[in-house]
């Protein structure tokens, strides 16, 4: 099935450049000039993935994600011209799956689109994973902690599934980026830290003293092999 990409950017020339290249790569492409238009287009086109400019008139990328996440869950790659990390961190915390900094190479953007789509289509892991009081259901795409369902972004879900499938194994940031994206990119591995921090706030009783996701200094992260279930209150 041909996958459809929604490209959202207020620069018409940039949208056209991305559209032409993606269509040459076999994708269908829909376009929107700002966040408000993107919400309308997304409702009708139901894209497989959204390429989203961060700074736009009428509705910013952040405002779009907040509104769109209430309606659907297509993965999002941010486009940001900001040098500062603040916008990237905010976007990842809101649920964006990846980012590309302007100016960028369209081939790299295409590679990252394919990587995110591959990650979303992974089916080789066990359907049900359990460690301590955390249960992850890949087929149902949900996670419970101590019997309570928690909402995770797609990246957080894939990170947790990667950890739970190999408890005790140490993963470098690049290892994790490769597992959740399909490709490891030098310079982007620090985005993993943001996702780990967000994930800890959702599954750990005390995120500052995590029992599940352990930091292995100088190496990366690992998931604890055994964690005692939390006492009921």
Q: Where are the domains of the chain?
A: 4-120, 128-223
Choice between 131 and 16, residue whose per-residue pLDDT is larger: 16
pTM surpassing 0.75? no
CA nearest 212: which of 134, 126, 127?
134
The structure tokens 């309570």 sit at 148
Fold of 4-120: Rossmann fold (3.40.50)
**CB contact at 8 A, 221 and 215:** yes
| CATH entry 1.10.287.130 includes domain 128-223 | no
Is residue 188 very low, low, confident or very high in pLDDT (cuts 50, 70, 90)?
low
Render pLDDT for 119-129 as a digit per residue (tens, 0 to 9): 776 544 567 88
The structure tokens 């408000």 sit at 36
pLDDT at site 123: 46
**CB contact at 8 A, 57 and 11:** no
């Amino acid at each position: 099935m041909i996958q459809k990409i929604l490209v959202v950017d207020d620069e018409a020339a940039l949208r056209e450049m991305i559209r032409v290249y993606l269509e040459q790569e076999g994708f269908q492409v829909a376009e929107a000039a700002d966040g408000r238009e993107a919400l309308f287009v997304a409702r009708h086109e139901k894209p497989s993935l959204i390429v989203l400019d961060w700074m736009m008139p009428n509705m910013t990328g952040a405002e779009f994600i907040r509104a769109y996440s209430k309606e659907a869950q297509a993965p999002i790659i941010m486009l940001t011209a900001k040098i500062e990390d603040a916008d990237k961190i905010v976007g990842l915390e809101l649920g964006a799956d990846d980012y590309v900094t302007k100016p960028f190479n369209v081939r790299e953007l295409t590679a990252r689109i394919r990587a995110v789509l591959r990650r979303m289509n992974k089916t080789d892991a066990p359907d049900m994973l359990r460690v301590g009081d955390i249960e992850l259901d890949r087929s149902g795409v949900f996670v419970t902690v101590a019997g309570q369902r928690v909402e995770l972004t797609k990246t957080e879900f894939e990170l947790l599934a990667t950890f739970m499938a190999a408890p005790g194994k140490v993963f470098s940031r690049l290892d994790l980026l490769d597992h959740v994206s399909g490709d490891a990119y030098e310079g982007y591995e620090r985005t993993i830290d943001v996702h780990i921090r967000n994930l800890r706030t959702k599954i750990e009783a005390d995120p500052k003293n995590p029992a599940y996701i352990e930091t292995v200094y100088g190496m990366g992260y690992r998931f604890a092999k055994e964690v005692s279930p939390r006492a009921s209150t």
